[in-house]
Amino acid sequence: MRIYNSATHKKEEFQPIESGKVRMYVCGPTVYDNIHIGNARTFISFDVIRRWLIASGYEVTFAQNLTDVDDKIIKRANEQGRTAAEVATEFSDKFIGVMRAANVLDPDVRPRATKEIGPMIAMIKTLIEQGHAYAADNGDVYFAVRSDPNYGQVSGRNIDDLMVGARIEENEDKNDPLDFALWKAAKPGEPSWPSPWGEGRPGWHTECAAMVHRYLGTPIDIHGGGSDLAFPHHENECAQATCAWHQGFSNTWMHTGMLLVDGEKMSKSLGNFFTLAEVLEQHSAAALRLLMLQTSYRSPLDFSWERLEGAENSLTRIAGTVENLRWAANHATADADEAASEAFAAKSAETRATFKECMDDDFNTAGAMGAVFGFVTECNQYLE
C-alpha cells in the first residue's frame, strides 16, 4: 500500500509503526454551527480510508476530537445570549447525528477539548521548561517558533519567507510576530480554567497535540484533515509535539482537497452554501459518498445537484444489476453456458484485483469505482 504524504509531497510505501496496527487521528469540527458539505468531504474521505485499512487487515485505532471551546463558539454564544457550553453541546450532538446519517463510522476515541485541559497544561509546562515557550505579562503563553529548528516540516514553509509580507497581527506581548498562543488569558464572560499562568483557556493548536499524545501516543501513523489545516494548524501541532516529547508526531500527513460548488468556492454570499443535513434531506448518503468517490480525496471536488442526481442514477443501475444477478443465480439451470460462466468468473476476479490495486495506490477511489462500473457493464452483458 502506498500513501501520498503531504509533508514529503510524494507517495510512500505504508509501513505502520506497529505491525498490523494503525493509529490515526483526524481533526474534528469546531462545534459552533452545522457542518457544510466541504467539512463532510473531509470526514467521508477519511471514513473511506479507515474502512479500506480495516478491510486490508489492519487493526485501526481512530481518534477524532471535538473542539468545544474556541473564539467562534464564544462569539456565537454572545450573539445568541447563550453560554458557550450550550452552543458547543447543541452542535456537538448535531455533528454526531449527521455523521451517523452519512454512514460515517463513529471514532474509537472522541475527546472533547474542555475535558482535556489538564494534559494541555502539562504539555505547555513542559514546553516552557525546555525553552520552547514563554509566559507573557498579560497571562498568555506563547510558543517560540524560532526555537524549533524543524518548524515548517509539515507545510514546507520557511520561517524567513513567512516574515516577508506576512499579515501577522501586531502583539506587543509576543517576543516574535510568528509566535502563537498556547494559552489565552481569560477575558470577562469567557469560559476559563485555572492554570499556573492564571485563569484562561488553551489555544486551538495545543488542544489537538495534547489529545493525540494522550490517546494514541506519539508518533502516530496517520494524521489527517482538510488542506486548509496544513498551515498553520497542523504545522503548529507538530512543532509543539516534537519539541515537548522529542520524537516524531505523525509518520504520514494526509490532506483532503477543497470542495467547490459548480466550479466556485462555496460561500453564503454566492448562495451556493449547503450544509450536510440539507443535502441528506434531498439525496441518499450513499449517493453523496459515490459522488465523492469519483474524485481523488486530495484533488478539488466539484459538487453540483446534477452530479449528485447522476450518482443516484448510478446507484440505481448498480442495485438493479445486483438484483438481476441474484435472480439469475437462484434460477440457474444445469445447461447454463459453462464457457460464459467461466469467463464471467474470471472477469469478477480481475475486477476485484483492479479494485484492490487502485485502493492500495493512495486510496484511488476513482479508479476503483471505474472498475466497478466496468464490471456492471460486464454483468449486464453476461445476463443477456
Q: Looking at the structure, do residues 31 and 79 belong to the same domain, yes or no?
A: yes
Looking at the structure, do residues 130 and 274 belong to the same domain, yes or no? no
| Distance, CA of 199 to CA of 193 (rounded, Å) | 5
Whether residues 34 and 135 fall in one domain: yes
User: For residue 267, what pLDDT is reported?
Assistant: 83
| Among 257, 289, 324, residue at a domain's last position | 257
For residue 183, the domain's CATH number is 3.40.50.620
Residue 214 sits in the same domain as residue 266 = no
Give yes or no: residues 320 and 203 share one domain. Answer: no
d(CA 182, CA 193): 14
Residues 192 and 267 in one domain: no
Q: Which three cell numbers stand for residue 229?
A: 489545516
**Residue-level pLDDT at 175:** 93
pLDDT at residue 167 in the model:
52
pLDDT tens for the 384 residues of the chain, in order: 999 999 999 999 999 999 999 999 999 999 999 999 999 999 999 999 999 999 999 999 999 999 999 999 999 999 999 999 999 999 999 999 999 999 999 999 999 999 999 999 999 999 999 999 999 999 999 999 999 999 999 999 988 777 654 555 566 789 999 999 999 999 998 999 999 999 999 999 999 999 999 999 999 999 999 999 999 999 999 999 999 999 999 999 999 999 999 999 988 888 889 999 999 999 999 999 999 999 999 999 999 999 999 999 999 999 999 999 999 989 887 776 788 888 889 999 999 999 999 999 999 999 999 999 999 999 999 988
Q: Are residues 335 and 225 in the same domain?
A: no
Can you spell out the DSSP letters for 115-155? G-HHHHHHHHHHHHHTTSEEE-TTS-EEE-GGG-TTTTTTT
Positive or negative, the CA dihedral 173, 229, 261, 284 is negative
Q: How far apart are CA 8 and CA 13, in angstroms?
A: 12
**Which of 257, 285, 316 represents a domain boundary (last residue)?**
257
Dist. CA 43–CA 41, nearest whole Å = 6
Instruction: Give the pLDDT of residue 282.
Output: 97
Strands 220-226 and 250-256: parallel
Q: How many domains does the chain contain in total?
A: 2
d(CA 307, CA 295): 12
pLDDT of residue 158: 87
55 and 201 assigned to the same domain: yes
Please identify, among 257, 273, 299, the residue that sits at the C-terminal boundary of a domain.
257
Q: Burial code of 55-82, b = ≥16 C-beta within 10 A, e = fewer? A: eeebebbbbbbbbbbbeebbebbeeeee
Q: Are residues 272 and 357 in the same domain?
A: yes
Q: Which domain holds residue 11?
A: 2-257
- 137 plus 11 within the same structural domain: yes
Which conformational region is residue 25 in: left (phi greater than 0), alpha (psi within -120 to 50 degrees), or beta?
A: beta
40 plus 136 within the same structural domain: yes
Rg, C-alpha atoms of the chain: 24
Q: What is the pLDDT of residue 236?
A: 97
DSSP 195-256: -TT-SEEE-HHHHHHHHHHHHT-SSEEEEEEEGGGIIIIIHHHHHHHHHHHSS-SEEEEEEE
- Expressed in angstroms, the distance from the first to the final Cα of the chain is 37
Number of H helices, E strands in the chain: 12, 13
Contacts of 231 (CB under 8 A, 6+ apart): 154, 155, 157
Whichever domain contains 345, its CATH number is 1.10.730.10
Asked whether residue 291 falls in the same domain as residue 348, the answer is yes
| pLDDT at 168 (0 to 100) | 55
